[in-house]
Amino acid sequence: MPAKPAIYLDANASAPLVPSVRAELTELLKSDATFPSNPSSAHAHGRESRRRIHEARDAVATSWRVRSDQITFTSSGTEANQTVIRSAIKAFSGRSPIWITSSVEHESVRGLVAALRRESVQVEILPVDFRGLISLTDLSHALANFQGRVALVSGLWVNNETGVISPVDSLIELCRKFGVPIHLDAAQAWGKLPLNLGTSGASHVTFSGHKIGALPGTGAIYSDFPLTHALVTGKQERGSRGGTENLLGIVSMGIAARSLVPEIYDRQLRGLRDEFESLIRARCMPVIVQGGEAARVANTSCLTFPGTRPDSLVPALDVLGFSVSTGSACMSGAAEPSAVLLAMGVSEADARASVRVSLHSEVTREDVLNLVEALVQVTVRLRPSTTRDPRSPLRSSAELA
């Protein structure tokens, strides 16, 4: 008998392909032997590829409520983030530019800090509170202290590890007050929250296609003014980046964008996530829901199980058939504890005793109940007896249902 397939609960790393993406791409590849052809070619096949890119760009623009000429496609959210940051610094007209960001950004943003400091860019990293949110007062003081020298403020719209939603309206208004452009990483917001970038006041917003069920290797930038820096120079994307476009990926992103209905997404997953956390609190004490005191997107739970053997939960759950993560997929191979949790004041031991569960639309209540049972099993096994809670007896999914 074949092994039961693992239950995938790591949608924040990469969401499963949207069914319409799979169906439309399969049909397209079957019906057109010349697809994908090079969109830069002048012949009919090249024009057809360009048409499909324009179609995808229009679908993405509609999803964000912006003009299609304000969108630049990239190879990933990482490229999108780093292109925006370097572009803003290059475009800065004053001397000694300053970049302000936070201690809980995605690795693709945090990874630029050391490189930019070597290039004589002053980087100011704002701390966060126990919820993972920066203080608006801290940001206001930084903008006032460095007035006239700040090239860009970068922040996360939704934290990829905890699901915590930043007060983006307040951040945008504060930056507007000081005349400073703001960049928001919205990779985890797209499809989960209603977006209206055209009236948001944000200067740059970055996205990743595979977070909404498109193919990996696709990203996009919304910008209210032209980008001035390209990681690779070339004539693609109106001269803002180089290299033949990832036609399949871009088309898939347009298809996925048309399928997004954030209100339905929230209604489908919030109750399931909340039930999961309630059961875990009742059965796996002690447990901490990181960011649980803040507004969060509907699908994300970051759970800490104090006293659990370090770095043991994810492999133990994997053996039982559940795919979860320790946080950012870009750091999954690293031995270090989550930088996000450490920045929130979590101890190193507790950061190493944490898992992220990120649901998607194909997850069932049975999947969640089975995960609860698995977590009860592994936490009992991986904790010393002194930290186990006596209220955590093993029970079946049928009893919970």
Annotated catalytic residues are 330
Q: What is the 3-state secondary structure (H, E, C) of 294-307?
A: CCECCCEEEEECCC
Q: In the chain, what is the greatest distance between 2 CA atoms, to the nearest angstrom?
A: 72
d(CA 393, CA 389): 9
DSSP state of 329: G
390 three-state secondary structure: coil
Q: Which pair of structure tokens corresponds to residue 375?
A: 């977590």
Residues 367-384: b if buried by 16+ CB within 10 A, e if exposed: bbbbbbbbbbbbbbebbe
Q: Which pair of structure tokens corresponds to residue 124?
A: 């100011």
The CB density around residue 144, as the number of other CB atoms within 10 Å, is: 10
Half-sphere exposure of 330 (CA within 13 A, CB side): 14
Contact 172, 182 (CB under 8 A): yes
CA dihedral (356, 357, 359, 362) positive or negative:
positive
